[in-house]
Chain A
C-alpha cells in the first residue's frame, strides 16, 4: 500500500518489515529520524531499540545481537560511519551479517549536514584495516532504497558479511510515496543461523559457538583471509546490480548514482529535446561495481560524463571500468550544492561534439 513518508522513516520501516529486530544507533544529522522512528516502532514488533553512547558503541552492540542470530542494523552518516570502521572490519573477520545505513553528508571531517556522495571511498575502498569489502547498495529513489534495504538483509545473511546501503541526505530527508513490502520473508536459500550463532548451551553435535576474528598462527590466518577473498569473488560475480538506459546508440553516457543519477534523468530529457542521444549507467551496487557492464555500455559513445557529489571518488571506478577506452569528463557539486541538470547537459553537448 502506497504511503507518503519521509525517507529516513521509510527506510526504518522497510528494514523492520524485512525482519530487523535489533537497532542500535547514535544521533547524527541527517539521519536522526531513523533512530527516532525505530525507538517507538520497534517495540510494536517485539524488537529492541537502544540509543548507544557513541557510534563506536553502536556498531559493537550490533555485533553482539547479530552474532546471536537476530537481524540487526545501525545507521549513521559521514564521520559517524568513519568511527564504525573498526567495527565493520571486525564483522567481516567474524562473518557476522548485519546492515549499515549511511545517509551521507558533506565531508571531510564534520563537513556539513547537507547531502553529498563523499562517502563513496569510505564504503567501497574500506576505511578500515585488512582485506575486506562491504557490499554496498546505492539506491536513487526512496522506493528503491526501501527495496534495497530489505534485500541488504538477505545479502548479508547469504554471505555472512555486513552490507551497506548508502543514500545521500536528499533521499533521506525528502518525502515521497512508497510501497513497502510488509513481513518480507528471508530468502529461502539462506542457511540456518543456528549453525554458527550464539545461543547459550551446547549444540547437538557437542560443539559451542565461537565468534572470533583474532588469529595467532600465520598459516591459519592466511587460510581464513584466502577464504574471505573467495567469498568476495563470489559476491563480485553474483551480486552486481546496475541500471543501464539508452546506451546502445548514445553519443554520451553519464555514469552517476543516487540523487545525481536522478537529476541526470532530466539531463537525458534535455538531450531528447535537442536531438542528442544521452544514455546513463547507474550503478545500484557501488561495491561490487559493474565494471564490465559499464565498459560495454559506453563502447559506442564519443565520451563519458562522470557526475557525482564528491571529488573524483566514483571517477576512480569509472576509470577502472573503461580501461582507457573513452575520454572521461568529470562533473561535481559538493556539500549540498546540488548538481544541475542544465550544467550537465551543457557538458553533454560538448562531449557529443568533441568527446570531452
Chain B
C-alpha cells in the first residue's frame, strides 16, 4: 500500500496537525510513514502544507511531487495544488472558505464545508479533523481507531477530554465521503 497526500491550508487552520496525526496513525498500524512540513515565518495566515506518505515499503523521497490525494483548507491552496493532482486522483476541499470551482474532469472532488460543520458541532477547532475524516472515509488508508490513537499521542497528557469531540468530527467527515 502506498498513499501520497498533500494537506494544505493557511497557518492556524491545523493542516499540519492533521498531517502529523495521519502519519502517527500509520505508525500505529506498523506502516512506514513520513511527514514533511512547509511553512512560512508568520505565526498565523501564512503558507502551511505538508507531504504525508504512508507505505508498506521503505519510503524513498519524502517529497510528494504528484499527489494522488490532496486536502485543501483554503482558497490559495486550491489554486496551488489542483493542477498537481495525479490523473484519477482525488481532491477534498473546504467549501466554507474556497470560492474556486473544480476545473478538472480527470480527478474526483469532495466538497467538505468544514468550518460550517465545525460551528454546528460547537467548536471551530475541529474543522481540520472533519476534513481528515473525509479523507479517511474515502481512502481507508488507516482505521479510524488508529487516527484516534495518533491524535491522542499528538495532543498529549491532560487533553483526553478533547478526544470525543474530535472523534465525532472525524466520523462526520467520513460520512461525506462514504456516501
Contact = CB atoms under 8 A, between A and B. Distances in A.
Contacts of A188: none
B38 A218 contact: yes
A216 B40 CA distance: 5
B118 interface: no
A274 interface: no
The contact size tier of chain B is under 10
Q: Name A's interface SS.
A: loop
Interface in A182-218: 214, 216-218
Contacts of A217: 40, 47
Interface in B39-61: 40-42, 46-47
A217 B80 CA distance: 13
Contacts of A216: 40-42, 46-47
A218 B37 CA distance: 13
Contacts, number: 9
A218 B47 CA distance: 11
Nearest to B38: A218
Contacts of B38: 218
Contacts of A214: 41
Nearest to A216: B40
Nearest to A214: B41
Nearest to A218: B38
A216 B38 CA distance: 11
Contacts of A218: 38
A179 B41 CA distance: 52
Contacts of B46: 216
Interface string B16-47: 00000000000000000000001011100011
Interface of B: 38, 40-42, 46-47
Interface of A: 214, 216-218
Given A214-B41, A216-B41, 7 more contacts: A216-B40, A216-B42, A216-B46, A216-B47, A217-B40, A217-B47, A218-B38
List the 9 closest pairs (A to B, CB-CB), nearest first. Answer: A216-B40, A216-B41, A216-B46, A217-B47, A218-B38, A217-B40, A216-B47, A216-B42, A214-B41
6 contacts: A214-B41, A216-B42, A216-B46, A216-B47, A217-B40, A218-B38
